[in-house]
């Protein structure tokens, strides 16, 4: 698994056996492992149910219907937002040094007439003081570290922090670089990790659903 650019694959020893372990927090879904595997044992799928509340959970697969559409997930999201807040969920998007790939995916999910996330009760706001949730992208960079901390403290309780993408979850392709912090959980507390490079629309909605469950508890 030396071909993996982010070192997402590691060998582990457990109960006297040796296993190959994949970290979705580090995986950028480039597909090189599938292409290079001599035994054709690796397949990149369309599964999106990868978001998790703890980074170590990204080593395993969560249970969710992989065939659910954006429309179906959106209706569940709308019902859960209303049951928790009785209004829209206000989201402040924070770019902490990303390549803008995750921003493109989120903007496409939010603004495009194809998905139109706003109709399901998600509202992007301009100030963290008006936000219920911080959606953070990027490794983050050291230049954005202070800005991210100030944004976190400016957000009123109860607040949710979602790490969007492989870079926000683990540093991704920029991990172990002098200019980055190897994931935003090294700067502020994180409630939900959404892996992907960038994550699919369904994966982002699924992450919001998990985040709302955390608020409800």
Cα–Cα distance for residue pair 83/88, rounded to 1 Å: 10
Report residue 18's pLDDT band, with 50, 70 and 90 as the boundaries.
low
Neighbour tally for 74: CB within 10 Å: 23
Report residue 62's pLDDT band, with 50, 70 and 90 as the boundaries.
very low
Report residue 17's pLDDT band, with 50, 70 and 90 as the boundaries.
low
Strands 17-22 and 9-14: antiparallel
**pLDDT one-digit tens code per residue, 69-80:** 778 888 888 888
**pLDDT one-digit tens code per residue, 103-136:** 999 988 888 888 888 889 999 999 999 999 999 9
- Residue, of 1 and 190, whose pLDDT is higher: 190
- pLDDT computed for residue 64 by the predictor: 44
Q: For the range 52-58, what are the long-range contacts, defined as Cβ-Cβ under 8 Å and sequence gap of 24 or more?
A: 52/192, 52/193, 52/210, 53/191, 53/192, 53/193, 53/210, 53/214, 54/193, 55/25, 55/169, 55/170, 55/183, 55/185, 55/190, 55/193, 57/193, 58/23, 58/24, 58/25, 58/169, 58/193, 58/195
Q: 70-215 in CATH: which number?
A: 3.40.50.12280
pTM: 0.78
Residues 29-33 have a mean pLDDT of 87
pLDDT at 42 over 70: yes
**pLDDT one-digit tens code per residue, 153-177:** 999 988 999 999 999 999 988 988 8
Report the percentage of the chain scoring pLDDT > 90.
Answer: 38
Highest mean pLDDT: which range of 99-108, 145-154, 174-183 = 145-154
Cα–Cα distance for residue pair 170/126, rounded to 1 Å: 26
pLDDT at 67 over 60: no
pLDDT at 210 over 70: yes
Highest mean pLDDT: which range of 26-35, 53-62, 160-169 = 160-169
Report the percentage of the chain scoring pLDDT > 70.
Answer: 92
Cα–Cα distance for residue pair 108/161, rounded to 1 Å: 21
Cα–Cα distance for residue pair 34/39, rounded to 1 Å: 9
- pLDDT computed for residue 180 by the predictor: 92
């Amino acid at each position: 698994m030396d071909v993996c650019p982010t070192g997402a694959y590691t060998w582990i020893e457990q109960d006297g056996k040796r296993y190959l372990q994949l970290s979705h927090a580090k995986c950028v879904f480039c597909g090189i492992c599938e292409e290079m595997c001599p035994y054709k044992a690796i397949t990149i799928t369309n599964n999106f149910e990868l978001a998790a509340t703890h980074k170590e959970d990204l080593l395993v697969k969560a249970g969710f219907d992989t065939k659910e559409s954006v429309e179906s997930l959106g209706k569940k999201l709308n019902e859960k937002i209303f049951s928790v807040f009785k209004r829209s969920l206000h989201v402040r998007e924070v770019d902490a040094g990303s390549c803008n790939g995750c921003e493109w995916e989120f903007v496409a999910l939010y603004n495009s007439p194809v998905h139109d996330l706003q109709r399901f009760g998600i509202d992007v706001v301009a100030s963290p003081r008006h936000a219920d949730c911080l959606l953070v992208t990027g490794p983050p960079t050291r230049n954005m570290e202070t800005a991210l901390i100030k944004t976190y403290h400016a957000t009123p309780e109860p607040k949710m922090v979602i790490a969007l993408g492989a870079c926000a979850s683990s540093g991704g392709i920029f991990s172990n670089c002098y200019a980055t912090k190897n994931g935003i959980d090294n700067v502020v507390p994180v409630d939900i990790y959404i892996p992907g490079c960038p994550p699919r629309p369904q994966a982002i909605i699924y992450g919001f659903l998990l985040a709302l469950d955390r608020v409800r508890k």
